[in-house]
Structure 1
Amino acid sequence: MASSITSKPFLGATKPNSSLSPDLQRLSFSSLRISIKPRTHKKLQIQAAGSTFGNYFRVTTFGESHGGGVGCIVDGCPPRIPLSEADLQGDLDRRRPGQSRITTPRKETDTCRIYSGVSEGVTTGTPIHVLVPNTDQRGHDYKEMSIAYRPSHADATYDMKYGVRAVQVLAYVSQVHQVVLPDGSVDHDTVTLDQIESNIVRCPNPDYAEKMIAAIDAVRTRGNSIGGVVTCIVRNAPRGLGSPVFDKLEAELAKAVMSLPATKGFEFGSGFAGTFLTGSEHNDEFYTDEHGRIRTRTNRSGGIQGGISNGEIINMRVAFKPTATIGKKQHTVTREKQDIELLARGRHDPCVVPRAVPMVEAMVALVLVDQLMAQYAQCNLFPINSELQEPLNLEPANI
């Protein structure tokens, strides 16, 4: 809506008092008149907000899956960090559609271009603009969905509302539908990216990977979908990241990963299973290792205590629901509140979990670098009283 502000006297106002100064006269006998000019729109306009994440290290995303492309602006990145399009392409290839039979058949190369913020292979400190053009979008596949809401999809709620490797972040698929990787079957101290990427479902256990792939294949042939769980770990995270009371590290991580599409649950450390233990069973006892570092014998806290990282491996699990758009008829309503049956004709993942793995890694990494900058900004400005506390060196915890 357009608005204008003008200065006008009140209706029926008395004449100004000549004893007052001209400035006081204007202040005493004038008011603000706001005229509102309504603007009509021929079509529904959707203006989405909340596309920026981070405080010190900020990422703003843009684009649509069936538009010209998608991309991001990275702001707050320090200068002189080596960066190239090839560095980004590796993770884009892990997430791109059409990479195997258990993902959407849509063929996108997901080739990225860096347009600013990088010169001669290093960052300049200015905003980094990255664009990934779309090459295989089919907007006409969604014609029916422009008037009918897809069940359990974001269509209805959107319509209502808007009209560096020192710290290693690794994620893997630990559950697909009813195929659950047993606890302890993956060694978080030694698991590698190569083990995770050794199969199309991104599960480091080969036997369970085959079971997960079979489950996805079975549901794909029926035109249905299933969900699952992604486990994410952080090795060598610095001690001291996170702040009480409302900026706890696990809270920031939960916000980040729960901002991803299709997420429905977040579990940290022992999670809900910890409710079956007593305090003596659940507590992580401290000890001093051979390097003189304070460590914990167990890690049920998940590497974070009191909202602050303690140097142990950070671990979390993220639940993803079954893909909402499926190739089966479903009952729904149109905007005119008419009951209809909807059959989605687009190309969709029978299970989004394998492609969500690099997305979880990326969001966790964003939180960590943002918290690292916050730690330097907040704590490095104040001298440390050696009689009260030890110096807190922000360095990899388990070296």
Structure 2
Amino acid sequence: MSTFGQYFRVTTYGESHGRSVGCIVDNCPPGLQLTEDDIQPQMTRRRPGQSALTTPRDEKDRVEIQSGTEAGVTLGSPIALRVMNEDQRPHDYGGGGKNIDAFPRPSHADWTYKEKYGVKSSSGGGRSSARETIGRVAAGAIAEKYLRVAHGVEIVAFTSGVGHEHLFPSTAEHPTQATNPAFLQLIDTVTRARIDEFLPVRCPDATQCAKMERLIADFRDRKDSIGGVVTCVIRNCPSGLGEPCFDKLEATLAHAMLSIPATKGFEIGSGFGGCEVPGSAHNDAFVKAPAIPPAELNGASSEPPRARPRLTTKTNNSGGIQGGITNGAHIYFNVAFKPPATIGQAQQTVGYDEAEGVLEAKGRHDPCVIPRAVPIVEAMAALVVMDALLAQSARQSARGLLPVLAQTVPVGEQENNLTKARA
């Protein structure tokens, strides 16, 4: 389907070489200050043509708000966002004996789309193209602004692996990054501004960034491609988010991330490496949460007032989620992306007519999607948290209308929930 979310609903539209791409956002809270300037920075981080390591397709990806705001304020009605395709070249996908449209590209969605629908887009992959993610990033920027203004949520993603080069490789001492002090310090402090100092790869380490850049360039020069890993951290996420049993927050995050084109894996917290750690070391012991300065509680600081948690955890192997519900600690996870399927090398394959042949793909394609995937991962994370937040807000609003019982915590006094504790 082309719609994501139950409460904060996003429907994307458009094909790779159509006239435009974009989305419609339903149920954005009214009263949020919002203009194109709030959305464009993430669109610019995602757009093609950023460097010699990305597709040379020249798209500025200028976003236009078509509805849902007035005088720069959201109305609560559907928000329509549009981006025009300005550098279309559908002719790159046809003509000649090596016609890309005569062959389903190996590991691409060409064959499966035609099997499903009986017809497929003749250029660029259509809806299976990464150009579809423009709508996700635009909607994610809206969700991010609300989360930041209302709850101080911060979402930062970065490149942590390209091919065999890794920022935090597994070791005997640290089979999972969850126990690596360098990783934990990074996710505690890293910012998008810091990440973008390491363009074009977006790996926040000068040495590893240079190695990854050389690796991508090598595959590009050989008309080949390579995959990698994006790591994302969500800070200051309210506790209590997530809907057991089938919509646990890590499950909805996995759903969101694996819906991104070219994704092949997802792991949260200690992930697969955590399987090598005994339970006595893996368990996250509870400790009393440090006090929040009064200025932050009563709104005197520049940051949004925050809820006052009673407990936190000494370690965070759980990745901020326990029993499918957020516990207030950092949420962090990895997303694996495969090598882009469309490459310039000649490949022996079989065409739609079942005849053997050689495909030598034309068009403009990324040798590695990782650098441009960073803002897409951030956007999908924001959509998941926003949707869960609205669900929990609705639940707490409804519960707040009921009489307080002995076994319940009054919504207005509950410290470990969405209610902002104010002095």
- TM-score, normalized by the shorter chain, greater than 0.5: yes
Alignment of 1:3-152 (within 5 A): 50-143=1-94, 144-152=99-107
Q: Deviations over 1:308-336 (max 9, x none)?
A: 00000000100000010001011221121
Gaps of 5+ in 2: 119-145, 169-176, 292-308
* 1:142 partner amino acid: Y
Aligned equivalent of 2:392, options 368, 375, 386? 375
Q: Which amino acid aligns with 2:383?
A: L
Task: For 1:1-399, list aligned pairs within 5 A.
Answer: 50-143=1-94, 144-163=99-118, 164=146, 165=148, 166-182=152-168, 183=177, 184=180, 185-186=182-183, 187-198=186-197, 199-291=199-291, 293-382=310-399, 383=402, 385=405, 387-389=407-409, 391=414, 392-394=416-418
For the aligned residue pairs, the C-alpha RMSD in angstroms reads 1.5
Q: Deviations over 1:355-376 (max 9, x none)?
A: 0000000011001110011112
The separation in 2 between residues aligned to 1:213 and 1:364, in whole angstroms, is 26
Gaps of 5+ in 1: 1-49
Larger strand percent: 1
Q: Would you say the 8 A contact 1:79–1:125 is kept in 2?
A: yes
Structure-2 separation of matches of 1:160 and 1:279: 46
Q: Which secondary structure does the structure 2 equivalent of 1:197 belong to? A: helix
Q: How many residues align?
A: 348
SS in 1 for 2:114: helix
Could you tell me how far 1:146 is from its partner in structure 2? 2.2
Off by >6 Å, runs of 4+ in structure 1? none
**Match for residue 31 of structure 1?**
none
Indicate how the Cα distance of structure 1 residues 395 and 318 shifts in structure 2: closer, same or farther if over 3 A, else same: farther
Q: Residues 237 and 396 of structure 1 are in contact (CA less than 8 Å); yes or no, is this contact kept in structure 2?
A: no
> Matches of 1:77 and 1:127 in 2, distance apart?
8
Could you say which residue in structure 2 is the equivalent of 1:11? none
Q: How far off is 1:243 after superposition?
A: 1.5
- Once the two structures are TM-superposed, the CA of residue 386 in structure 1 deviates from its matched residue by 5.1
Q: Which amino acid aligns with 2:69?
A: V
Give the residue type in structure 1 aligned to 2:379: A
Report the CA distance between 1:168 and its aligned residue.
0.8
Which secondary structure does the structure 2 equivalent of 1:174 belong to? strand
Tell me, in whole angstroms, the C-alpha distance in 2 between the residues paired with 1:241 and 1:176: 32
Instruction: Tell me how far apart the structure 2 counterparts of residues 134 and 271 of structure 1 sit (CA, whole Å).
Output: 39
TM-score (norm 1): 0.85
Give, in whole Å, the separation in 2 of the partners of 1:117 and 1:388. Answer: 38
The structural deviation recorded for 1:145 is 2.7
Distance 1:227 1:277 in 2: 27
Higher relative contact order (CA 8 A, sep 6+): 2
Query: Could you give the per-residue CA deviations for residues 40-99 of structure 1, whole angstroms, max 9, x where no partner exists?
Result: xxxxxxxxxx00101111110001111112110011111110111111110010000001
Displacement of 1:389 after TM fit? 4.4
Kindly provide the CA deviation profile for residues 130-182 of structure 1, in whole angstroms up to 9, marking residues without a partner as x: 11001111111112232210000011111111123211111000001111002
- Identity score, percent: 54
CA distance in 2, matches of 1:59, 1:191: 28
Q: Cα 1:303–1:395, aligned 2, differ >3 Å: closer, same or farther?
A: farther
> Helix, strand or coil: the match of 1:256?
helix
User: Secondary structure of the equivalent of 1:110?
Assistant: coil
* 1:230 Cα deviation after fit: 0.3
Q: Deviations over 1:238-285 (max 9, x none)?
A: 000002111100000100111000000000100000111111111101
- Check whether the contact 1:227–1:323 (CA below 8 A) recurs between aligned residues: yes
Please give the alpha-carbon distance, in whole angstroms, between the structure 1 residues aligned to 2:417 and 2:33. 24
Q: CA deviation at 1:395?
A: 5.5
More helix by share: 2
**Deviation digits for residues 337-362 of structure 1 (CA, Å, limit 9, x no counterpart):** 11111000111000001000000000
CA-CA distance at 1:207 after TM superposition? 1.8
Contact kept? 1:236, 1:396, Cα under 8 Å: no
Q: Which has the greater radius of gyration?
A: 1
Residues 175-211 of structure 1 show CA distances to partners (whole Å, capped at 9, x for unaligned) of: 0111100244441111111111112111111221111
Question: In structure 2, how many angstroms separate the alpha carbons of the residues matched to 1:352 and 1:220?
Answer: 12
Q: What's the offset of the Cα at 1:388?
A: 4.6
Any conservation in 2 of the 1:250–1:268 contact (CA below 8 Å)? yes
Aligned partners of 1:277, 1:167: CA distance in 2, in Å?
A: 30
Q: Provide the rounded CA distance (Å) in 2 between the counterparts of 1:215 and 1:396.
A: 47
Q: SS where residue 394 of structure 1 aligns?
A: coil
Letter in 1 for 2:220: R
Partners of 1:126 and 1:176 lie apart in 2 by 41
Residues in 1 aligned to 2:406 and 2:153: alpha-carbon distance in whole angstroms? 28
State the shift of 1:380 in Å. 2.8
Distance in 2 (alpha carbons) for counterparts of 1:304 and 1:389: 21
Deviates more, 1:102-111 or 1:179-188: 179-188
